[in-house]
Structures are given as C-alpha cells and as structure tokens.
Chains A and B, each alone.
Chain A
C-alpha cells in the first residue's frame, strides 16, 4: 500500500469541491429580491451527468 501526496491539483478533485461544495446562493433570492436579477446557474445537471457514470461501490454492499 502506498500513500501519495499530490502536489498538482487534479481537475476532478477541484470539481468535486467547486461544483458540489461551496456556498450555494439559491435562486429563491431572485424571487425574494426581484431587482437583483441574479444569474446563478444551476450545475446540478452537470454534476449528475458526471456522477451517473460512476457506480457507487458503497451501494453494492448495502
């Protein structure tokens, strides 16, 4: 077994955090404060399209 510490950040690790983490400023603000005209985009579609291709190894056990 080996423990590897990566120096260069892999894109997948970055996307795990930037597309699934971080504070989500929800679209409901657009409704509550109409003049803000918020352009928050929804990345859920992209994330799920990435995740769909990944069978969960945890799922197989339960």
Chain B
C-alpha cells in the first residue's frame, strides 16, 4: 500500500493491548510498528494531505489543524492508558515503514533515556488569569460632582487596576515557585492569546508540571488549596488546571538541553 507514515509516539512494548480499532489522524487506524525493542505508533496517511506541501497548506487551516490535533491527542490518550508514551510533535511524517525504522535506530538511545525519565509521570497544566474589576460590568461609580472629582475617581480606578495586576503577577510567581518545588520539572509556555482561547481575563501564567502519576492527587490538592490562601484579596484571579496530559512539554528537553535541564 502506498501512502506516508504519520508517527504519534514512541513507546516501550505494551503490557496490555491497545484498544481495538483506534482511529487516528485522517480517520486512519493507529498501528504498532515494533523495532529494536521499541514501538512506533503510526498511521498510513495519504500523500495528497500529508506530503510536505499540502501539510503546510493544511496547517494554516484552523479547522483541519484542530481535527488533526484532536485525533493525534486521541491516540496519545489511548496509549497513556496502557503505557507512558513519548509523544512526537504534531506532523511528523515519514515516507514509509523503513523510514520510521531508520529513525528509531538513529535515536534509539535517546528514546530509551527519555522514556526512562518519563516513566510513570504525567503532565499537569496550570494557568492563571487576571481580570480587573473594570473589565467586568462596571459598577455605578457615583456621580462626579465636578471635573476634578471625575479625574480623581479615574485616578483611583487606575491605581486599583495596577494594584490588581501586581497582586496577580505576584500570586502567579508564588504559585509557580510552589508548584515547581513539588514537581520534578516545570516548563513555562507562552501566555495564551485571549482571541484564541476565548478565555476571560489576561493569561498571566501558562505552565506545565511533570508529576509522578502516584503523586498527582496531591498535586491537584496543592493547586486547589491556593484558593483558600488567597481568596480575600484576589477576586479577579482565576486558576485553571488541565490534565493529566502525556508529558508533551517534557519530551524534548534531552535533545535540546543536553542530559540535564
């Protein structure tokens, strides 16, 4: 059969069977390609969509990107149930099975090291949003009796605004320190664009934490507890937790940073 090979992840031989009829990108089934004691999880994908040029064009199509990203994630999720996968970046495509095998041979040692490091770990995402009061429906501020009163009220609002940002930033920094202390590794992502996320407020922290699966409950409680510590003076701050994820944000460290971060 012709077609290209889309690779989702590399993992160790599975201890339990993968769910039957797992569908991946382009509606193609995800299959296991064992080689040298490792397994690449691949789909046969059509050249007209996944060769370099069409793929480039597709990536600018948010609907296509969205469907492909969710399909990729679906396969990684299914893998996470039975093993600790090493996820590859979206859009990693090879010409044929032998191309995938050659890639595994070339990176065998590195894959094993990273798989050892990630074994039994998951990633949690924590985001902090800050939303100043005035971006919420405005309170009737009381009538300004004169131009001077009006200016004073405006200054007061601006100051309250600044205080709020500062408190939110301080809170985010403190939270990140606390969570980093607990996690095995931490990674800061770029703050998310509200236009893309549709979330209210400004994203002041967008972080990922690598946590042993067995400690996850405690980690989630730690995040949850922050609300009790700070409820009083942080009404405009919101913390959002996502996960558990496969360790996407920690898969690449070794290749880029050497052996240790």
Contacts and interface: CB of A to CB of B under 8 A. Distances in A.
A25 B33 CA distance: 17
B56 interface: yes
Interface residues of B, number: 72
B60 A46 contact: yes
Given A11-B66, A22-B248, A57-B204, A1 B73 contact: no
User: Chain A: interface secondary structure?
Assistant: mixed
Interface string B100-125: 00110011000000100000000101
Contacts of B89: 18-19, 21-25, 43
Interface of B: 4, 7, 10, 50-52, 55-56, 59-60, 65-66, 69-70, 72-73, 86-95, 99, 102-103, 106-107, 114, 123, 125, 169, 189-193, 195-199, 202-204, 206, 208, 223-224, 226-227, 230-231, 234-235, 237-242, 245, 248-252, 255-256
Interface of A: 1-6, 9-26, 29, 32-33, 35-41, 43, 46, 50-51, 53-54, 56-57, 61
15 contacts: A1-B230, A2-B238, A3-B227, A9-B70, A11-B70, A16-B125, A18-B73, A21-B252, A23-B10, A23-B86, A25-B88, A39-B50, A41-B52, A41-B55, A50-B193
